[in-house]
Structure 1
Amino acid sequence: MKNALFSILLFALCIQNIHAQSIEGSWQGELAVMGQKIPLIVHFSEKEGEWSGKMDSPNQGAMGIAMRKVLFDGTMLSFEMSMGNASYEGLLLGEQIKGNFSQSGMSIPLDFTKAKDGELKSAQPNRPQNPQEPFEYEIQELSFENSEAGILLKGTLTKPAGNGPFPTVVLISGSGPHNRDHEIMGHRPFWVMADYLTNRGIAVLRYDERGVGESKGVYTDATTIDLMTDVSAALDFLKSQDYVDSKRLGVIGHSEGGLISWMLGAEYEGLDFLITMAPPVIPITELMDKQTEAITRVSGANEMIVKAAVERNREVYQVVVESNNIDEIKPKLKELFESQLKSMGIPESMMDAQLKQLQQAYESQLDTWMINFLKMKPADYIHRIDIPVFAAFGSKDLQVDAAQNGNELIALFSDKPELLEVKVYENQNHLFQTAQTGAVDEYAKIEESISYLLLEDIVKFIESIGSN
């Protein structure tokens, strides 16, 4: 294989001076990972001898991901991604780039083909719920400051026509950096939600998270508590606006955003109601155990593999929870992985390579956010909430188990049941799409961005606030 690649390289170098080659423009390929094919599109441009590039992953809703260190010498191409600890090296051969994508110690073949005119447009997924003009409400682009963190955040307010005051909500996205529309795998559920609610008399503020889109700051440095202060800043801003009904100001949080909702419900003064979608309720380490179990099982693994995956991840989480920082965690994880590999019967000749791969895979995920997130216990906040709550769960959610978290939430409100409404939506996944299995690889394939049944119930709940 090395000889063949060397021959190809020599041939490419020979013809380079005859036919000048360029990577300028757009290229498309498919990354094969764990039985899934992920379409990727890369765009390259040159200015004053310097190359720059961006990557799109349409099915994951990740567009315009910046590249860094884009190097091209007429034949060999290499670049690194600005997020995800990933890189690529390839060889340009006419209308193809043949190479390998590397991330977390793994190297996967990935070839790109020059995109023809019109091909990229047709690759965009169908999203029939995306709002269409004309809009019968006001749209304001605005900014507000988290003075505690010194960060300026920007977002969009959709407000019913007229002076108000209107019931008003702030939308809080789940884990990972998201823009104001909560774009994920080609879906824009927060845009769909804002449009639906505002057409029914509710003002909605959605914003780019810190370090995303037009907002300042750095997302990778933020913990869940830091992100909560951004939402607090949004609420402070809204409380000063005349169009906001001061008795009907609330938040709608999805997944980690639901956890942030619990935190605000316990600690923010002036909040009138909470709406949580797939919120964590049980301790996060237990949530991750159940998540590993569900996702491994739906992938087709047998029960022995499912059990082993849960046990091994649980041991990792325990190391993290019992440590103070990443410097403490790394040597403990190395010792743990060595023990796990030996128990699996990995030969000594393969031990170093396997150990290195495990360390890279896990340590790349263990940032400040993850370390703090794993230590969180939502009940510490939930038991202090004394405002109305609507909590929605999907019966096919593999990331936040509906029964486990819903039942625990009901138990935590046992002394104030009149404040809580819990609803489980049948056949809906973590994103509240109607799903077959709930597996993550279905998210992009489903055209529905968010259930209208859920949105209708959210409107009814908000309309009930202050009506008694």
Structure 2
Amino acid sequence: MKRKIVILFSMLFLKLSVLPAADMDTVSVAFEGEGHTLKGRLLLPKNTPGKVPVILFLVGSGGSSSYVSDYKSFLEFFLKSPFENDPVAFLFFDKRGVGESGGKWQNTDFMQRALDAKNAAMHIKDHPAIDADRIYVVGHSQGGWIVQICLAEYPEVFAGGVSMAGPTFDVKKQLINDYQSSYLCNKEMAPEKAFKKAKRRVSRDLAIVSLLPLQDNWKQLKVIRKFDPKPYLGNIHQPVLLLFAENDRLVNPGWSMDHLQMLYPDGLPENFSVHIAENENHSFQTSPLCYKGSWGDLKFSESTRDVMKTWLVREAGMLE
């Protein structure tokens, strides 16, 4: 394959200045997950009486997607900064095989990632500063898929969650989405022609990957290639916010809405909220679909940040 397969991983090539961190205590955490030790940090607000809610964040795909590097500016902007004056804790950890966490991310399926998220929450739920009834899960890109699984499989653990650019369609269709966008933007093909060529390319890629997965991305694709979020989306009863971006080249918001409509033809359940961010890309930066400039020139969206905080506080009742 001449082109590297992109499995829902947005490279955050951003030169955003790091925002000032809230006054928080940092506690190192380590917990077990199917024979592997995963490591991260629990950030606790100082001088806060009583127990506080916690936001657990799940990163996207790939071997470099760590909360301490690729997601550092993203987390500062979308989570830590908007809640810096609120009594809220954060739990960040590196997935298997990333940073100091053991295991191999390329051999980890989505159900295992969700189990790791559950184990992370269980590890900190008895901390005297944490309200175990208000643990919320937020994930970006591939992490958004994991949020959907967490809410469906572990409602006794997670009070609600936000899927940021997590598709409502399966892995195969997401790969088609990625290739089609590439043909539209780089080859200037007509949408229908680009879609047909993308389907053929993905069918070929999946056949090769199933037989000869040489690279790490290919190895994980072999593990996750049959994943479909449909059964999980149909079994979410906790509050959930699905965030999409109008100019997302990896997760077409129209396709996502079509799949939700097929799943819920009579309308979304009351616990579902959906927001499509206008003129934003996969990382919720203001950007056209076929952006050709420097990633460092793009800015994160303040409006999307506000939408997410408002939903967490008002709709999910995080600070009640």
TM-score normalised by the shorter chain: which range applies?
Answer: 0.7 to 0.9
Whether 1:203 aligns to 2:53 is no
Query: Greater CA radius of gyration, 1 or 2?
Result: 1
CA contact (8 A) 1:209 1:215 kept: yes
Change (3 A) 1:192 1:307: closer
Whether 1:428 aligns to 2:250 is no
Deviations 1:276-296 (A, max 9, x none): 111111122122212211122
Give the superposition deviation at 1:375: 0.4
Matches within 5 A, 1:306-325: 306-307=194-195, 309-316=197-204, 319=207
Residue 223 of structure 1 aligns with which residue?
109
Matches within 5 A, 1:192-271: 192-201=77-86, 202-268=88-154, 269-271=156-158
Q: Secondary structure at the match of 1:253?
A: strand
Change (3 A) 1:136 1:280: closer
Give the superposition deviation at 1:152: 3.3
Q: Secondary structure at the match of 2:81?
A: helix
Q: Secondary structure at the match of 1:151?
A: strand
CA contact (8 A) 1:145 1:233 kept: yes
Give the superposition deviation at 1:365: 5.8
Matches within 5 A, 1:159-174: 159=45, 161-174=47-60
Q: Which amino acid aligns with 2:257?
A: G
CA contact (8 A) 2:52 2:130 kept: yes
Q: Which amino acid aligns with 2:198?
A: V
Q: Secondary structure at the match of 1:235?
A: helix
CA contact (8 A) 1:255 1:279 kept: yes
Matches within 5 A, 1:319-468: 319=207, 326=210, 329-330=211-212, 363-364=214-215, 367-413=218-264, 414=266, 417-439=269-291, 442=293, 444-448=295-299, 450-464=300-314, 465-466=316-317
Moved more, 244-253 or 374-383: 244-253
Q: Secondary structure at the match of 1:246?
A: strand
Q: Which amino acid aligns with 1:196?
A: S
Deviations 1:50-105 (A, max 9, x none): xxxxxxxxxx669xxxxxxxxxxxxxxxxxxxxxxxxxxxxxxxxxxxxxxxxxxx
Unaligned runs of 5+ in 1: 1-32, 35-59, 63-124, 331-361
Deviations 1:256-292 (A, max 9, x none): 1011111111111221101111111112212221221
Deviations 1:387-422 (A, max 9, x none): 111111000001001111134235535466211110
CA contact (8 A) 1:282 1:377 kept: yes
Q: State the Cα RMSD in Å.
A: 3.0
Unaligned runs of 5+ in 2: 4-10
Q: Normalized against structure 2, the TM-score is what? A: 0.84
**Structure-2 separation of matches of 1:307 and 1:409:** 21
CA contact (8 A) 2:38 2:95 kept: no
Percent identity over paired residues: 20
Give the superposition deviation at 1:249: 1.4
Residue 286 of structure 1 aligns with which residue?
173
Whether 1:149 aligns to 2:149 is no
Residue 127 of structure 1 aligns with which residue?
16
Give the superposition deviation at 1:169: 1.0
**Structure-2 separation of matches of 1:373 and 1:399:** 16
Q: Give the structure with the higher percent strand.
A: 1
CA contact (8 A) 1:395 1:402 kept: yes
**Structure-2 separation of matches of 1:384 and 1:296:** 35
Moved more, 156-165 or 262-271: 156-165
CA contact (8 A) 2:172 2:202 kept: yes
CA contact (8 A) 1:433 1:446 kept: no
Change (3 A) 1:200 1:309: farther
Residue 73 of structure 2 aligns with which residue?
188
Change (3 A) 1:401 1:147: closer
Q: Which amino acid aligns with 1:229?
A: L
**Structure-1 separation of matches of 2:251 and 2:228:** 14
Moved more, 297-306 or 224-233: 297-306
Give the superposition deviation at 1:148: 2.6
**Structure-1 separation of matches of 2:85 and 2:304:** 14
**Structure-2 separation of matches of 1:425 and 1:160:** 34
CA contact (8 A) 2:170 2:228 kept: yes
Deviations 1:7-62 (A, max 9, x none): xxxxxxxxxxxxxxxxxxxxxxxxxx99xxxxxxxxxxxxxxxxxxxxxxxxx669
CA contact (8 A) 2:126 2:132 kept: no
Q: Secondary structure at the match of 1:409?
A: helix
Q: Normalized against structure 1, the TM-score is what? A: 0.59
Change (3 A) 1:372 1:258: same
Give the superposition deviation at 1:307: 4.7
Paired residues in the alignment total: 306
